[in-house]
Amino acid sequence: MTRTLLITGAGGVGKTTVAAALGVRAARSGLRTLVVTVDPARRLATALGVEDLGNEPQPHAGEPNLWAAMLDSTASWRAVAMRHADPDVATRLADNDFFKAASEHFPASQAYAAADQAATFVQAMAWDLVIVDTPPSGGGIDFFAAPAQMADLVGGRLLRWLTGGPLPGRRTFYNLAAKPVLRIADSVLGSDLLERVAEFLLDLRTTYDGVAQRGREIERVLSSSSIFVVTTSDPAPVREAIKFYRDLPGLAASPAAVVFNRILPEEWADSNAPPGTSLALEQNLARWSAETVRQRDTREEFSSRYGARIATIPWSSSPPTDLDGLGRLLDESKELPWAEVGIS
């Protein structure tokens, strides 16, 4: 049985570092662990040994039980659609301007590709624990919504409206395109634009069954995963974290914890500089003390309003650059739900 842990949260909060640190801990406790990251900072990529790696999980040279994989950030639903398309459809799609442009710009594209790859690793049953550092778009919510969005896109809202349900033949569509409404649209959009969009959608729609089925598999993996939401105490990432308590229900399980990263020592909150301290150092303590108070208030409000389990990780003045540093990062953490990771 492979346990899955999804590390979500806004960008820039140290999500990847937390995912890697949990991975090192789990590996050292004897669990065969795969850490899947997206776009890690260079130093962290080096520490994990994923600097030059592609999608394939690689065993870590210095740490038995630890594997790492980096999700290809350029992977898109282009590849997904192609995988589920017949050869001649695939060729037509590859030549279609809209498919090219849409596969570059569809916002949930990266989230979907990441969810798909992560699910593949979980289904491989080769690890005790798969830790997934989710892409930051939409604070990670996109990751959960992506399979349904993908099916919706391929299912073709425009096409369904035009044709009223079942997969139409090409002839049916062009008869409908003679509707006055569509002639107006054509005059606005320029000649044959709608036709080319329709062709793209028709071809894409033939992939619907495959894509939808895969989407359901991915959703099953996601909904049985544990979730840690990582945030700092800043308002923007906290707003993203709140979404996991407000918007997630239905898409996945409730988060096991919200992990506040970069936490200042509690005792700074009520500290005053002793007599004889220079003005510079006294003022410095005062501002970091104010920051400590703000952090504490933020956590208390989060906990009382959303009933969340709050875990904390101290603000380390030097970001970890190697495996031992990652292993130590969580030494001073508090309230992390280790049981969810499979560590007693």
Residues lying near another protein in the complex (CB under 8 A) are found at 10-13, 39, 41-43, 97-98, 101-102, 104-107, 136-138, 153, 156-158, 161-162, 181-182, 184-185, 187-194, 197, 201, 234-237, 239, 264-265, 267-268, 271, 273-274, 277-278, 280-282, 284-285, 287-291, 293-294, 297, 315, 317-319
Task: Tell me the closest approach of the beta carbon of residue 188 to another protein, in angstroms.
Answer: 5
**Number of C-beta neighbours around residue 144 at 10 A:** 26
Task: Tell me the closest approach of the beta carbon of residue 220 to another protein, in angstroms.
Answer: 26
Q: Which is nearer to another protein, 213 or 272 (CB)?
A: 272
Contact, 27 vs 66, CB < 8 A?
Answer: yes
Contact, 32 vs 130, CB < 8 A?
Answer: no
Q: Which is nearer to another protein, 127 or 200 (CB)?
A: 200
Task: Tell me the closest approach of the beta carbon of residue 167 to another protein, in angstroms.
Answer: 17
Task: Tell me the closest approach of the beta carbon of residue 283 to another protein, in angstroms.
Answer: 9
Task: Tell me the closest approach of the beta carbon of residue 64 to another protein, in angstroms.
Answer: 29
Strands 58-59 and 66-71, bridge-based pairing = antiparallel
**Distance in angstroms (rounded) separating the CA atoms of residues 215 and 72:** 19
Backbone angles phi, psi at 57, to 5 degrees: -60, 135
Q: Which is nearer to another protein, 126 or 189 (CB)?
A: 189
**Distance in angstroms (rounded) separating the CA atoms of residues 47 and 277:** 40
- DSSP readout, 242-264? HHHHHT-BTTBPPPSEEEEEEEP
Q: Which is nearer to another protein, 54 or 107 (CB)?
A: 107
**Distance in angstroms (rounded) separating the CA atoms of residues 291 and 186:** 58
**Distance in angstroms (rounded) separating the CA atoms of residues 72 and 78:** 13
Q: Which is nearer to another protein, 124 or 158 (CB)?
A: 158
Q: Which is nearer to another protein, 253 or 293 (CB)?
A: 293
Task: Tell me the closest approach of the beta carbon of residue 271 to another protein, in angstroms.
Answer: 4
